[in-house]
Amino acid sequence: MSLNHIANQARNGWDRMTRVPSMPFSGHRTNSNDLNPPPYKQQRSTTISSTSPAPPPNAPVTLSFNVPFNSDLAGPRRDEVIFSTKLAFDRWIPREGDDELPVYDLPIHVQHREKLEILCEQIVRQTNGAIKYFIRSGLPKPVAGMPPRSKAWVTNVCLRGPYEIVSQARQAILNQTPISMRCATIDIDESLVSAITADGGQGINGPFLSHLDDTATFTKAEIFLLKAKPVDDTASINNGTAEPANNERLRLVVYGDMLTEEHAKIRLLIMIDQLRHLQIDTMKVELSLHTLICGRTRKNITSIESATNTTIYFPPPFPQIYGYCPPGAHRRPEDELIISGKSASEITDAKMRLRNLVLGVKAFVKDVAITETKLDDILLGRLDKVRKIMEMNGSYVLFNQLGRKHGVVRVQGTDILNVERTVKEVMALASQFYSATWLVQGQADFSAYTEELFEGLGDICISSGAEVIFENNTFHVYGSDDSVKLAMHVISDTPFAKYQAALSVKVELANEHKEFVSGKKNGKINKIMSHSNVQIVFDGFNEYNFYIDIRGQHYDATKNGLELVEQEMPASISFHVPDQYHKRIIGIGGQHIQRIMKRYSVFVKFSNAMDRGSHGRDEDDIKVDNVICRTPTRNAQNLELVKNEIMEMVEKVDAEFVNETVTIDRLFQRDMIARMPEIEALERKWNCKITFPNPEEASSTVNVSGPEYQIPQAVDELLGMVPETHELAFSASAELKEYLRSPNFTEDVVTKMREQHCLEVRLNQTWTPPADLADPECLLLNYTRNNAGGLKDAIDFLIAILVTKGLDQETVRGAIPRPKSDSFEESLPYFDSKLIQGTKVHTDSPTRSNFGDVEGDQQGFFSKFRKPGSMSSFSSLIDRRKNGSNSPGSLFKHASSNASKASLASLESNSSYRNPWNDSGINLPEEEGTPHANGIWPVQHPLHSMSNSSKLSFGTPMSALSHLNPGDTTPTSRYDPRASVDSGRPSTSHSFNTTGYPGPIGPR
């Protein structure tokens, strides 16, 4: 099929894409039963079975798989707990004296393992003894002298019996155990739930605690009420915000499986809204329409919330894929929207607007074949990424229940291009998983050694994380790329490796990369086959992906062939360059960009709004990645060099699109969304995009994306919309009381504080004084968040003036302590200068080169500054930066690294629907000793120096890659925690390979 034909199909409609009529509230319902259309039964038998052969239904097999219990999920500390619901304390907190108890031995995790054994016994009885089982738990063992793949406790189950019955037993285990245990935290103001106790002290409101018990009983979640996080004495400023005592919040922590935790969390959020005297109402909307009416990046719902001053809570998008439900638990209705607002009229307005959105939906549906084993891997390990894909494209992805052997996924969207984007990104997730077989030839059947097989297969799965089936002297291995390669390496250390064998490893890749990997006239593949003594077959799968099948007779040869194939796979980096710069970068007749491409042996492709099919329709596409650089993985170190050279031709106000996170109280975000016209004006002014979290997430993190040079100004102006207060209480003499109410106080303090520190000072007449403070007075300081950096200096200035009027400084409450980082002044008093106070160098800006240094989600732009806030305000810093001649690189180091990692999504899977990728006349040097034009020599292939008996891993050792730049990573998925995306075959988030390149087949 020609490239033009593909592009025309994307624009004019696809043969297999069907149009669903407008769906009102009681209209067409899309559910898992719809995923069984007759045409796909035939396709499944011919296509999927050929790429992922399964044993016959009655063939005796031994299946080994890990049950993802999340046994490393820890409970709260004993001293933090204020209140816990029934049985929660005993399940999640170790007994006194057992503080050193490992997390996986907490009572809750022990109970899960005990219930698993009971369930297996029930399955054996129900099948009349047709299957046997064996359960093992432990930590992954080191392999070949390498550290274990993770430190998480693993529970493994081995089942022996007919394949069909074993598959059904696996499905039952995964759907009747709490495999998706998780934890959610909600901050709550103590003032909302506090009450006066009988003895006159402060306590927690009784009805509030009763509601926590009722919620836990109704949802079967475990709920804790924890104390506020202690104030950090080492710093007075945290991410640019002061942390005064009156802003400390209690924490509600919810434990449960995915649906239980979501349901309990929503009920608690609604309870908080009711405590704030908001009204609540509900509305029914078909589940499959939720993301469609939200629009891309939820923009439709945000506009409704802004116009009506309401908050809309959506239910979880995948209520049917996990079959587990705690006994006696009630699930949240899957089609129920909850709306909260200040008045009934606002809620009615929001419901009317939602109804209009639903009635205007015109959906397109497409069914896509996907390998059955990979479908389970996506549901178990990539579901959060699928949710983000749906949100980014305004589409809905319908999956079958976990463990069900039916490889079809349904994608539904309001636009053909959005459906195609979603399908391609889901198929890119499937490319992160491998499958392999190891056939022992000419030997007796080893299946009779049941106990030995159970123990051996359990070791393989626990050590590698892969799923293994043994039947007829054949190992079938499924899992992530690193898991499969590690499992094959473990098998090579077993006695099976000494027998003659036939090995096969299947790698899934996007169809547009077929010519890229094979080379002209299959030159690259032929060279690999001749060098590695393997056979490589390209096997078609569906209209999006194909399989590369590497077959060999020996493990070392197959390992070598797989690694060489991975080295030829596309490594890509994508980023945003405004369309007006494209002609300048390309040059007359493409001369400039061709020169760059030849110098670095990298293919560069530009895409504008017309190419993306978004011209005049979707303004959100303005900021998507529109430049992609692609090269084989062995040449990936040049990707960053190409990006840097391209970005040098872009003005700094438009260059280096990065992401920055800002902490804004979850409840105040409602007020900011109501000021959306001001937010949009700020976005236009600084060429940035401000994204608020979904209300269901209960998150206080707001994302700001835009050009690196302008992000600080945008963040400063955004925080200028966030008011803050700080109370300063003290004992006041009669003279001081008189001074606070005199015109001199206004002239000496209030005016200067406003002009010099951007703070408003006034007496607080409504506060409740503490009982242990004599003759109390309280000053209330009002400021905006962007001026929080000068709070400590302002307080010091205020106290210094009040001391001259009779203030006893020992009675002051609310003063910000000096950070411990400045304690060196005690031993070196002659360094008493604000210019050289202790600072700590951070590398956790949005453009940091190493993402592993982050200590928490709250690290951001403001951690660049000295914690005590010696500057009068953050605005003064911005002014100095704008008037100075220095580059913003002094604040944002290694910006290109972050920009590449945060936005490495394939152009085809995000924006373009043409297939421009091929060799384009760019041939990389075939000789490893030939240097590049820029003087960078290729990395010597490590396999040439390996011994045949070596059990080292596939690929280059980490020591051999230590010279690579931090940004030299193989692109992975946009939503991968490692943050970069290969549009063809992304690596997995569980990879050992920290550089992002295709990892080894054995342990690293």
- Which residue would you say has higher pLDDT here, 368 or 21? 368
β-sheet with 363-369: strand ranges across:
18-20, 363-369, 408-413, 395-398
Tell me: the pLDDT tens digits for 708-752?
A: 889 999 999 999 999 998 989 999 888 998 999 999 999 889 999
**Does 533 map to a domain?**
no
Contact 106, 155 (CB under 8 A): no
| Res 243: pLDDT | 42
Q: Which residue has better confidence, 830 or 862?
A: 830
At 604, give phi and psi (nearest 5°). -120, 135
Residue 641 lies in a domain: yes
613: amino acid identity, one letter: G
Amino acid at 214: D
For residue 794, give both structure tokens.
């302002």
Helices 383-393 and 372-381 cross at an angle (nearest 10°) of 90
- Are 740 and 592 contained in the same domain? no
773 and 808 part of one domain: yes
- The first and second tokens of residue 769, run together, are 């004084």
Both structure tokens of 44:
């499944």
With residue 282 as reference, give the H or E element that holds it. strand 279-284
CB 757 within 8 A of CB 797: yes
Q: What's the CA gap between 548 and 559, in Å, rounded?
A: 14
850 & 775 share domain = yes
pLDDT band at 832; cut points 50, 70, 90: very low
- The backbone torsions φ and ψ at residue 826, rounded to the nearest 5 degrees and listed phi first, read -65, -35
Residues 6+ apart with CB under 8 A from 813: 728, 729, 730, 770, 773
pLDDT confidence of residue 980: 36
Confidence of residue 141 (pLDDT cuts 50, 70, 90): confident
Please tell me the least confidently modeled range out of 49-53, 310-314, 960-964, 971-975.
971-975
In a domain, 494, yes or no: no
pLDDT digits (tens, 9 = 90+) for 977-986: 333 333 344 4
Look up residue 580 and give its DSSP letter.
Answer: G
Q: Indicate the pLDDT class of residue 43, thresholds 50, 70 and 90.
A: very low
Do the bridges between strand 723-731 and strand 776-784 make them parallel or antiparallel, or are there none, so unpaired? Answer: antiparallel
Domain end (from 408, 429, 450) = 429
The model's confidence at residue 624, banded by pLDDT at 50, 70 and 90, is confident
Determine the length of the chain.
Answer: 1004
What's the order of all strands across the beta sheet hosting 81-84?
81-84, 222-226, 249-256, 182-189
Q: What is the mean pLDDT of residues 629-652?
A: 92
Checking if the pLDDT of 236 tops 50, the result is no
Give the C-alpha separation, 314 to 35, whole Å: 24
* Residue 857: pLDDT over 70: no
Report the distance separating Cα 998 and Cα 505, nearest Å: 14
* Terminal CA-CA length for the chain: 41
Q: Rounded CA gap, 408 and 371, in Å? A: 8
Last-in-domain residue among 628, 647, 666: 647
For residue 114, pLDDT beyond 80: yes
Q: Up-side HSE of residue 63: CA atoms within 13 Å toward CB?
A: 23
699 and 756: one domain?
Answer: yes
From 410, 429, 448, give the residue that closes a domain: 429
Single-letter residue type at 164: E
User: Do 596 and 684 share a domain, yes or no?
Assistant: no
d(CA 917, CA 386): 25
Q: Are residues 718 and 863 in the same domain?
A: yes
Q: Does residue 739 share a domain with residue 887?
A: yes
What's the 3-state SS for 383-405? HHHHHHHHHHHCEEEECCCCCCC
Span 343-387, pLDDT tens digits: 999 999 999 999 999 999 999 999 999 998 999 999 999 999 999
Percent of the chain with pLDDT over 70: 72
Q: What is the mean pLDDT of residues 487-509?
A: 90
Token duo for residue 326: 């705690």
Strand, helix or coil for residue 502: strand
pLDDT higher than 50, residue 314: yes
Predicted confidence at residue 199, as pLDDT, reads 75
What would the pLDDT profile of 906-951 be if each residue is shown by its tens digit?
333 333 333 333 443 444 444 444 444 443 334 444 434 444 443 3
Name the one residue in this structure whose structure tokens are 């203030």.
807
Task: Please state which of the ranges 21-35, 59-73, 608-622 shows the lowest mean pLDDT.
Answer: 21-35
**Higher model confidence: residue 536 or residue 655?**
536
Assess contact for 436 and 468: CB atoms under 8 A: no
Indicate if the alpha-carbon torsion angle 325, 328, 334, 340 is positive or negative: negative
**Average pLDDT estimate for 577-606:** 92
- Whether the pLDDT of residue 409 is over 60: the answer is yes
Long-range contacts of 580-586 (CB under 8 A, 24+ apart): 581/649, 581/650, 581/651, 581/654, 582/606, 582/608, 584/649, 585/646, 585/649, 585/650
Residues 668 and 703 occupy one common structural domain? yes
Q: Tens digits of per-residue pLDDT, 152-166?
A: 899 999 999 999 999
* Tokens read off for 296: 């891309």
Residues 590 and 715 in one domain: no
Q: Could you tell me if 734 and 816 lie in one domain?
A: yes
User: Which pair of tokens denotes residue 66?
Assistant: 């890990």
Decide if 745 is inside a domain. yes
- Name the residue among 281, 283, 282, 287 with its Cα closest to residue 23: 287
d(CA 417, CA 393): 9
Beta carbons within 10 angstroms of residue 540's beta carbon: 13
pLDDT at res. 124: 95
CA separation for the pair 360, 20 (Å, rounded): 12
Same domain, yes or no: 804 and 873? yes
What per-residue confidence (pLDDT) applies to 455? 85
Mean local confidence (pLDDT), 193-218:
88
SS3 letters across 707-748 = ECCCHHHHHHHHHCCCEEEEEEEEECCHHHHHHHCCHHHHHH
What is the tally of structural domains in the chain?
3
Q: Is the pLDDT of residue 523 over 70?
A: yes
- Tens of pLDDT, residue by residue over 161-196, are 999 999 999 999 999 999 989 999 999 998 899 888
CATH number at residue 394: 3.30.1370.10
The total of other beta-carbon atoms located within 10 Å of residue 324's CB is 17
Tell whether 627 and 746 lie within a shared domain: no
Within a domain: 975: no
Q: Which has the closest alpha carbon to 747: 761, 735, 729?
A: 761
Number of H helices, E strands in the chain: 33, 33
User: Is residue 171 included in any domain, yes or no?
Assistant: no
Q: How far is CA 638 from CA 568, 647, 843, in A?
A: 15, 14, 24
Main-chain dihedrals φ then ψ at residue 422, nearest 5 degrees: -65, -45
**Position of tokens 């949710």?**
387
Separation between Cα atoms, residue 861 and residue 847, nearest integer Å = 10
Domain around 387: 16-51+362-429
777 occurs within a structural domain: yes
Reported confidence tier of residue 441, pLDDT bands at 50, 70, 90: confident
Q: What is the pLDDT of residue 497?
A: 84
Distance CA 541, CA 808 (A): 80
Q: Which of 108-117, 403-412, 710-719, 995-1004 has the lowest average pLDDT?
A: 995-1004
- What are residue 188's phi and psi, to 5 degrees? -140, 135
Is residue 299, in this structure, part of any structural domain at all? no
Residue of higher predicted confidence among 454 and 307:
307
Evaluate whether 251 touches 188 at the Cβ level (below 8 Å): yes
Range among 253-262, 769-778, 876-885 rated most confident: 253-262
How far is residue 692 CA from its own chain's centroid?
16
Q: Is the pLDDT of residue 279 over 90?
A: yes
C-alpha pair distances (Å), 65 with each of 125, 136, 140, 386, 494? 21, 11, 14, 23, 19
Q: H/E element holding 281?
A: strand 279-284
Taking the C-alpha atoms of residue 784 and residue 786, their distance in angstroms, rounded to an integer, is: 6
How does the average pLDDT of the chain come out, rounded? Answer: 78
From residue 988, how far is each of 392, 432, 522, 560 by CA, in Å?
20, 6, 28, 21
Contact 477, 435 (CB under 8 A): yes
